[in-house]
């Protein structure tokens, strides 16, 4: 091997030979560097080629934990597995739906198949947005009270205050129990979050069930405010009545009872939908169906996406019990949705690696390791 730092001077022939050897060595080293760089560039190119977008992919960061968690899972796979750049824009349901129709949002990871605004079916029909799959189909929602209200809690020294409470039609008898602090002659029913579609649906139910004669509705401004009202009352052992849904960490940790309603029928739901603007005129209401949530993408994303990316999102399915476990993990550890998503991807490989091809899965796992 010729050492570049060798200061030995020999005969002209030796010097010429040494010079040639130096050149060969230099050229060989350059060639090796070129080959290495080309190899690295090829690897980077292959990874970059897997992402069909030359821009940032924007997710709707809905203001509830399960949607943020699903965002974290999908974004991590797109970034680490496909080499894409992603971002998430926060907002409530209706503004995010409208942004997706306009093309400002690319991916919505948890679009309810039940709480549907009136403009959404038209957007699906004309191709402004495209539904890819149902990410889960076993969610529940409705009006809840703490179990100790009905059954008491001997361990906490709480006596049952509404032992005969089973149905929404029993509520008028217990209005005093759920007294509204601002209108003490009426009970308070915590409605869904202001601006969400479920707020309108619940308002129709409120009138159809005749609750307006004994109760008032209270519309919290955020999901956090609604959760806090339930959790605070539960910790204090106080009565609470209101709307909530699963999967959520709160229903996973607190022992709540879903009040009975008339069973869901399409005719009933059509009646509810027809009275969203005139809830006081509603004569019929019923329970929410077991809810499914869909992954929906904007038209531009659908047109630009590769088969591999669309195949990944179309294959993605996360059961609600898994989501609830991850949400409970977040609550217990203080982990954020992205951190919980990475925990899921690292620890539950069998649950997701079949969504993508082997090379993509290996890149994700390598990044997590």
pLDDT of residue 328: 83
pLDDT at 24: 35
Query: Rounded to an integer, what distance in angstroms lies between the CA atom of residue 151 and that of residue 278?
Result: 37
Q: Sheet of 291-298: strands edge to edge?
A: 86-91, 57-62, 107-112, 291-298, 129-139
**pLDDT tens figures, 65-100:** 899 999 999 999 999 999 999 999 999 899 999 999
| CA dist 229 → 13, 92, 163, 191, 220 (Å) | 92, 20, 22, 11, 9
Domains 58-136+293-368 and 141-281 are alike in CATH topology:
yes
CA-to-CA distance for 315 and 317, rounded, in angstroms?
A: 6
Q: Residues 6 or more apart from 336 whose CB is under 8 A from it?
A: 330
Say how far apart CA 158 and CA 152 lie, in whole Å: 5
Q: Please give the pLDDT value at position 140.
A: 86
Supply the pLDDT for residue 7: 31
Beta bridge partners of 291: 139
C-alpha distances in Å from residue 346, one per residue of 75, 81, 320, 332, 333: 14, 13, 19, 19, 17
**58-136+293-368 architecture in CATH?**
3-Layer(aba) Sandwich (3.40)
CA angle at 216 for the pair 213 and 218, rounded to the nearest 5°:
165
What CATH number belongs to 141-281?
A: 3.40.190.100
Structure tokens belonging to residue 252: 């996973």
Q: Could you tell me which of 53, 55, 64, 72 has the C-alpha nearest to residue 111?
A: 64
Per domain, the residue ranges of the chain are 58-136+293-368, 141-281
**Spatial distance between the Cα atoms of 324 and 252, rounded to a whole number of angstroms:** 6
Q: Over the stretch 325-334, which tens digit does the pLDDT of each residue have? A: 899 889 889 9
- pLDDT for 337 equals 94
Chain centroid to Cα 16, Å, comes to 71
Distance CA 42, CA 31 (A): 16
What integer pLDDT is reported at residue 289 of this predicted model? 87
Per-residue tens of pLDDT for the chain, all 369 residues: 333 333 322 332 333 333 333 433 444 433 333 333 333 333 343 444 489 999 999 999 998 889 999 999 999 999 999 999 999 999 989 999 999 999 999 999 999 887 789 999 999 999 999 999 999 998 889 999 999 999 999 999 999 999 999 999 999 999 999 999 999 999 999 999 998 999 999 999 999 999 999 999 999 999 999 999 999 999 999 999 999 998 888 887 889 999 999 999 999 999 999 999 999 999 999 999 888 999 999 999 999 999 999 999 999 999 988 998 899 889 889 999 999 999 999 999 999 999 999 999 999 999 998
Distance of CA 208 to the CA centre of its chain: 31
Q: How far apart are CA 115 and CA 240, in angstroms?
A: 24
Burial class (CB in 10 A: 0-12, 13-18, 19+), 44: exposed
């Amino acid at each position: 091997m010729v050492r570049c730092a060798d200061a030995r001077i020999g005969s002209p022939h030796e010097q010429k030979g040494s010079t040639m050897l130096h050149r060969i060595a230099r050229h060989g080293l350059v060639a090796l560097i070129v080959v290495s760089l080309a190899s690295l560039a090829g690897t980077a190119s292959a990874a970059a080629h897997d992402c069909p977008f030359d821009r940032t992919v924007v997710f709707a960061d809905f203001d509830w934990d399960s949607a943020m968690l699903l965002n974290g899972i999908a974004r991590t796979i797109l970034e680490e597995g496909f080499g894409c750049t992603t971002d998430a824009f926060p907002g409530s349901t209706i503004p995010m739906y409208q942004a997706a129709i306009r093309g400002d949002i690319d991916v919505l990871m948890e679009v309810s198949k039940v709480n549907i605004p009136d403009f959404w079916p038209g957007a699906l029909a004309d191709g402004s947005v495209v539904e890819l799959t149902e990410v889960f189909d076993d969610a529940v929602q409705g009006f809840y009270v703490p179990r100790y209200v009905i059954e008491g809690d001997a361990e906490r020294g709480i006596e049952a205050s509404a032992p005969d409470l089973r149905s929404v039609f029993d509520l008028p008898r217990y209005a005093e129990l759920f007294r509204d602090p601002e209108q003490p002659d009426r009970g308070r029913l915590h409605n869904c979050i202001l601006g969400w579609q479920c707020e309108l649906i619940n308002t129709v139910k409120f009138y159809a069930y005749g609750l307006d004669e004994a109760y008032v509705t209270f519309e919290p401004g955020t999901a956090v405010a609604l959760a806090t009202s339930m959790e605070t009352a539960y910790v204090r052992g106080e009565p609470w009545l209101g709307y909530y849904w699963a999967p959520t960490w709160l229903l996973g940790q607190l022992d709540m009872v879903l009040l009975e309603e008339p069973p869901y029928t399409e005719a009933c739901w059509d009646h509810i939908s027809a009275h969203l603007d005139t809830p006081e005129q509603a004569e019929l209401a019923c329970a929410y169906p077991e809810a499914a949530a869909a992954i929906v993408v904007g038209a531009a994303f659908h047109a630009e996406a590769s088969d591999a990316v669309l195949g990944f999102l179309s294959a993605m399915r996360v059961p609600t019990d898994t989501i609830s476990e991850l949400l409970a993990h977040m609550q217990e550890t203080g982990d954020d949705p992205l951190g919980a998503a990475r925990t899921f991807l690292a620890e539950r490989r069998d649950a997701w690696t079949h969504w993508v091809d082997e090379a993509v899965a290996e890149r994700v796992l390598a990044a997590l390791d």
